[in-house]
Amino acid sequence: MADLLGFVSAQFLVSVLVYAVIVHVLLAGAGYFTYLERKISAYIQDRVGPNRTGFDLGLPFLGFLKGLWGLGQPLADGIKFMLKEDYTPGKVDKVLFTLAPGIVVIPALIGFAVIPWGGVWDCPSFTIPLLNLHVAGGPVQIAALPVNVGVIYMVAVTSLGVYGITLGGWASNNKYSFLGGLRATAQMLAYELPLGISLLVVLLMVGSLLPMDIIRYQEANGWLLLSQPIAAIIFFIAMLAEANRVPFDNAEAESELVGGYHTEYNSMRFALFFLAEYSHLAVSSAFFVLLFMGGFQLLPFINDPLTATGATGLLAVLAKLGVYFGKVLFMVLVIMLVRWTVPRLRYDQVMSTAWQGLIPLSLVVLIATSVAVFFGLPQGFSHVLLLFGGNLVLFVVLWYVVGRLPAYNPNRKIPLLGSRFYPLPGERVDHAPSDPMAREDRPYEGALPTA
């Protein structure tokens, strides 16, 4: 028996345990993110939000669990989704229609595996009683998949999410779904590039693909949010777009496309799309924290004994987990506040932001960083000062240069008779409208206005 289980090491057991814990936290968290989102939107829009569903399950002897600020709402929603009819409309592609929500949820549940939530734990040796298996102790990572290609894994898995959405939109055989899926695909492809390039900036500074090394680097040289603010902002924006969040939620723009790619879905298959979306939110926030906010380190430049990478005690691991979860929750809150504050972009604005804005900008930051790395960077606090200053200079120069480039304006003002753009500022009103669109719109109003 002990021979068969030869692959079992302390790291393997800890990895499986960490995955089991995190996946439950994530799924429960995804449920409660919907609650949080509804509460936040309610406070912003001066409503109350969910406030009635408790945990009493309708049973009289559990009456003291009634109400509870609506905390039972996610549970009730989950049960309701599960018990609803799982209906497949007539004209859909039945296999792909069922497969799509299953595919979309898998990357969301495996993407976070490489994140080192609690740093390193000095595991003692122990024996598993029934199998009589002795497991040697040693330092183990509190991560589900502690491999040295961590960052590549993360990029690979998170970009898999696009398949489910594309398939779901196509299989529905509904024009709204199709357009939503098409838009989502193009948008996620476009924003994957600035995401990947700003990630490259981080890798270039750190010089390693191992997530723990990224945290160690930030412990020594300050958070990358401070030394690479432009890359951090690009990563954050691209992250929002990858998660199909407002202001980039054109894939499910309700005023244009009903529900987008999940218009035809119902019951748990619909819920899986939402589960994936909210897990994706938490996972990409966790990646942002890993890459730019120092992972489990409490404050930049202050190496407190509990959350330093060198601390390997059980208490340190718990403290790091707490700090990491706190930071992820903070990022999720920021994203939710963005959702209820910023209006949705038009689709052509979404695409031109990516292709004509973020991608060239991230390329410039990449080239500037590679030149800076070539000359060698100082350590410690001067590192942050130098790079922050460099970013600031780069930003000002780009602001100046880009403002003077010839730009194409997609919101061209057409002088339609009677519209609020007529006459245009600086235009003399002594002729009939010259634009053919204006004539087409009102063919009999060629006469001059008397003003």
Shortest distance, position 431 Cβ to other proteins, whole Å: 28
Q: Which is nearer to other proteins, 102 or 418 (CB)?
A: 102
Spatial distance between the Cα atoms of 426 and 424, rounded to a whole number of angstroms: 6
User: Is residue 192 a contact point for other proteins (CB under 8 A)?
Assistant: yes
Q: Which residues of 359-385 are buried (b: 16+ CB within 10 A; e: fewer)?
A: bebbeebbebbeeeeeeeeeeeeebbe
108, 282 Cβ separation under 8 angstroms = no
- For other proteins, the binding residues in 193-212 under the rule CB under 8 A are 193, 196-197, 200, 203-210, 212
The residue from 32, 49, 51, 84 that contacts other proteins (CB under 8 A) is: 84
Q: Which is nearer to other proteins, 83 or 402 (CB)?
A: 83
The residue from 23, 96, 298, 333 that contacts other proteins (CB under 8 A) is: 23
- For other proteins, the binding residues in 206-265 under the rule CB under 8 A are 206-210, 212, 258, 263-264
Q: Which is nearer to other proteins, 103 or 225 (CB)?
A: 103
305, 294 Cβ separation under 8 angstroms = no
Between the CA of residue 338 and those of 138, 167, 198, 344, 393, what are the distances in Å? Answer: 43, 29, 21, 11, 27
Shortest distance, position 107 Cβ to other proteins, whole Å: 8
The neighbouring-strand residues paired with 141 are 120
Between the CA of residue 279 and those of 144, 332, 371, 381, 402, what are the distances in Å? Answer: 16, 11, 37, 35, 37
Shortest distance, position 330 Cβ to other proteins, whole Å: 26
The residue from 41, 51, 267, 419 that contacts other proteins (CB under 8 A) is: 267
The neighbouring-strand residues paired with 121 are 140
Shortest distance, position 410 Cβ to other proteins, whole Å: 4
- Total residues in contact with other proteins, by rule CB under 8 A: 95
Shortest distance, position 203 Cβ to other proteins, whole Å: 4
User: Is residue 19 a contact point for other proteins (CB under 8 A)?
Assistant: yes
Spatial distance between the Cα atoms of 143 and 14, rounded to a whole number of angstroms: 8
- Of the CA atoms within 13 Å of residue 113, those in its CB half-sphere come to 23
- For other proteins, the binding residues in 338-377 under the rule CB under 8 A are 347-348, 350-352, 355-356, 359-360, 363, 366-367, 370-371, 373-376
CA 95 to chain centre: 29
Contact stretch for other proteins (CB under 8 A) within 60-68, 75-83, 220-228, 283-291: 75-83
- Return the amino acid letter for 216: R
- For other proteins, the binding residues in 123-162 under the rule CB under 8 A are 138-141, 144-148, 151-152
Q: Which is nearer to other proteins, 71 or 364 (CB)?
A: 364
Q: Which two tokens stand for residue 83?
A: 């018990």
Q: Which two tokens stand for residue 105?
A: 């949820």
323, 298 Cβ separation under 8 angstroms = yes
User: Is residue 82 a contact point for other proteins (CB under 8 A)?
Assistant: yes
